[in-house]
Copies of this chain bind each other. A is one copy, B any other.
């Protein structure tokens, strides 16, 4: 499987989040996962961390990244750098859907809540 059409994000089991997995172990790679997501205005991810590095590309929308006790505002054309093991949370603080691509340095992606509990995500990772 070398060429795949990019699917639009669709409703996930998590409210206010639409998701499409564009690449990962099911597609034939285990060092990379790519998640295309939409986060509705006013919504946020839970605070969480990953066992692998993450890079988020923001294509549309405005938000805040909370990490290390700091708040970083971002908008379209921003790249968020999230080294592995760093607790973080992303908020859509704007008035339009936030369109992102999450790139991870592993597949599957292992996600933890701040207390160390594994967060089971409702999509292919």
Contacts and interface: CB of A to CB of B under 8 A. Distances in A.
Give the oligomeric copy count: 2
A32 interface: yes
B31 A106 contact: yes
A15 B60 CA distance: 32
Interface of A: 1-6, 22-23, 27-32, 34, 52-55, 57, 65, 67, 70, 72-74, 77-84, 103-106
Given A3-B80, A4-B78, A105-B105, 17 more contacts: A2-B65, A2-B72, A2-B80, A3-B74, A3-B78, A3-B79, A4-B79, A27-B81, A28-B81, A28-B83, A29-B81, A29-B82, A31-B84, A32-B53, A32-B55, A32-B105, A34-B103
